[in-house]
Amino acid sequence: MDGDSLYDTLIVRRAREPRHAGELADATVKAAGNNPLCGDRIALGVRVDGDRIAAARHVTKGCAICAASADLMAGSIEGRTLSEALDMAGRFHHMLGNGSPVELDDLPESMAAFLPLKTHRSRLRCATLPWTALEEALGHD
C-alpha cells in the first residue's frame, strides 16, 4: 500500500488501540482542540501535581494521525515537568515546520513517525492539534 510511510505501524496501532484514551476524572486542567476544516476534535485532561504532569488522558474523535498523535503525546508528557512538556510541544511543531531540521534526539523516538507529514502538508494540523490543545491547557500562548 503506497502511503504507508506515513501510516507507520506505530501510528495505525496507536490509533486503533490507544493506551492513554479516556476521561481523566481528577484532571486539574482541561482543554479542547477542534479543527473546523476537517471536524477532528480532542478533549484533553491533565492532572498537574506541583510542577509535574502526573497523568494525561485524551478523548479524540478524528483520523488515525490525530488519534495516534494524541495518544503518543499523552504517554510522552506523563512524568515531565510543565516546562519540559511545553518545550516538547514547541519541538514537535518545529519538527513539522519549514525551518531548520530539528534534533530528533530531543524528542521521544515515537515522534519520528510523524516526519513523513512534511510531504502531506494538508494533514499537518491533524498531528499538531493535540499539542496545540496541550499548550492551551497549560496556559501557553
Interface with other proteins (CB under 8 A): 1-4, 6-7, 12, 16, 37-41, 61-65, 120, 123, 126
Q: Of the two residues 126 and 134, which places its CB atom closer to other proteins in the complex?
A: 126
Q: Of the two residues 38 and 54, which places its CB atom closer to other proteins in the complex?
A: 38
Least distance (Å) from other proteins to the CB of residue 39?
A: 4
Provide the residue count of the chain. 141
Least distance (Å) from other proteins to the CB of residue 17?
A: 12
Coil, strand or helix at 114:
helix
Q: Of the two residues 10 and 63, which places its CB atom closer to other proteins in the complex?
A: 63
Nearest of 76, 98, 90, 69 to residue 6 by alpha carbon: 69
Least distance (Å) from other proteins to the CB of residue 38?
A: 5
Least distance (Å) from other proteins to the CB of residue 120?
A: 6
In whole angstroms, give the CA distance from residue 56 to residue 71. 9
Nearest of 104, 117, 135 to residue 66 by alpha carbon: 117
Please, which residues bridge with residue 61 across strands? 41
Q: Of the two residues 65 and 113, which places its CB atom closer to other proteins in the complex?
A: 65
Helix axes 124-137, 82-96, angle to 10 degrees: 160
